[in-house]
Amino acid sequence: MPAEVHPGLAALSDQLVLVAVLCYAVAMIGYALDLAFARTAEASPAEAGAEAEPALAAVGGPADAGEAAAAASEAASGAAPEDVRDGAAAATAAGDGTAAGTATRDAAAGSGAASGADGVPSGWVLRAGPAAVALSWLGFALNLGSLLTRGLAAGRWPWGNMYEFVVAMCLAAMGAFLLMQLRHPVRFLGAFVSAAVALGLGYAVHSLHVDAAPAMVALNSYWIAIHVSAAIIASGLFIVAGACGVIFLIRHDAADHLPSRQELERVAHRAIVIGFPIWTFAVVAGALWADKAWGRYWGWDPKEIWAFITWIVYAGYLHARATAGWKGRAAMIVQLVAFACLLFNLIGVNIFIGGLHSYAEVP
C-alpha cells in the first residue's frame, strides 16, 4: 500500500461498509414486516366496523327482525295483540342477541385479531417500522463514516473510482429517502430503497472493491467535488423515483398494503423534479471540467453520450407531464427507461465501454 495512504483508516472504512450492509439488510426486513402487517393491522378496526353495518342491514335491523318474527307467530296461531307485542319484544331481544350481537362480536373479533388477541404478534410488528427507520439512520451514519475514513485514508475526495462512487451513490439514495420521510409519509418505500442500497453496497464490496490509493492525475482537481457530488446526489433521488416506478408496475388493485398508484406517482415526480436540475448541473460541470482537463467541452465520449441520453429521457418525462398531461403507467415507464439509462451510464459504461472516463479501477 502506498506510503501516502493510512492503512488503519482504510481498514476501518472497509469494516464500516460491511456493518452498514448488515444494517440496511435488517432494516429491509423491518420495512417489509411493517408494509405487510402493520398497515393491515391499522386498517382492520375500521374495516371490521364497516363490515358490521352491512350485517345489520341484511336482517333489516333488530327491531325489523323482531316484528317479522311476531307477525309470523300471529299468522300461525292467531295470538292476541298483547301476545304479539310481547312476542315482538322477545324477538327484538333475540334479534339483538343474534344479528346485531353477532355483528358486534365479529367487529370486536376482527379488531382483536389485528391487535394480537388471537396470537398475531402485532406488538412487535407495529414496532418493526420505527425500528427499521432507526436502523436506516444507523446504516446511513456507518455508510457516511466509511466514505469519510476512506477519503482521510487516501487524502482526497472519496469518489475517485467505481467502488467509492457506488458506495457514495448508495449513501445518497438512503439519505434522499430518509430526508423525504421527515416531511412526507413515504415509509412504504423503505423496503425497496433499503434492498437496493444493501444490494448495491454488497455488489461494491464483492466485485468493485479496490484498496485506497491517492487520486489519479486526471481526477486530481477541485472539479471532482463539484461535478461528481452533483451526480451522486441526483442519482440518489433518481433511485427513489425508480423504486416508486417498480412498485407502481407490480402493484395490483387488490394489494391494500401497498400505497395507491397516485401516491407512488406523486413521490416519484417530486424526486425527479428535485433531482433533474441537479443532474443538469452535473452535466454542465462535467463539460467545464472537460475543457479544463482536455481542452474541449464536449468530445462524444461514451460517458458524456450516456449522461446526455439520461438527461434527455428525464427531460422528456417532465415535459410530457407538464404539457401533454402524461400520467399513470405511461409516465412511469418513461421514467424507468430514464432510470435504466442512468444505471448504464453510472455502471455499464465504466465496466463495459472504454473511453476517457475509463478510470473505474474495476478489479
- pLDDT, tens digit, 9 for 90 and up, residues 231-242: 999 999 999 999
What integer is the mean pLDDT of 223-236?
91
Q: What is the pLDDT of residues 330-345, one digit of tens each?
A: 899 999 999 999 999 8
- Residue of 273, 285, 279 lying closest to 311 (CA atoms): 279
Residue with cell 481526477: 219
Distance, in Å, from the CA atom of 137 to the CA atom of 282, rounded to the nearest integer, reads: 27
- Residue of 144, 184, 192, 182 lying closest to 29 (CA atoms): 192
What integer is the mean pLDDT of 85-114?
40
pLDDT at 183: 85
Q: Where are the alpha helices (DSSP H) in the chain?
A: 7-33, 39-58, 61-77, 81-95, 101-115, 122-154, 162-183, 190-203, 223, 229-250, 261-294, 302-319, 329-343, 349-352
Amino acid in the structure at residue 281: F
Distance, in Å, from the CA atom of 120 to the CA atom of 41, rounded to the nearest integer, reads: 10
pLDDT at 122: 59
325 and 231 Cβ atoms separated by less than 8 Å: no
Here the cell at position 318 is 417532465
Distance, in Å, from the CA atom of 178 to the CA atom of 197, rounded to the nearest integer, reads: 13
Distance, in Å, from the CA atom of 348 to the CA atom of 356, rounded to the nearest integer, reads: 15
Across the chain, mean pLDDT equals 77
pTM for this one?
0.74
What integer is the mean pLDDT of 146-151?
94
pLDDT at 300: 84
Q: What is the pLDDT of residues 279-323, one digit of tens each?
A: 999 999 998 988 887 888 888 888 889 999 999 999 999 998 888
User: What does residue 301 show for φ and ψ, rounded to 5 degrees?
Assistant: -70, 150
Distance, in Å, from the CA atom of 158 to the CA atom of 315, rounded to the nearest integer, reads: 30
- Residue of 241, 324, 327, 320 lying closest to 278 (CA atoms): 241
DSSP string, 202-230: HHIIIII-----PPPGGG-STHIIIIIHH
pLDDT at 346: 84
- Residue of 192, 196, 177, 191 lying closest to 137 (CA atoms): 177
What integer is the mean pLDDT of 157-184?
91
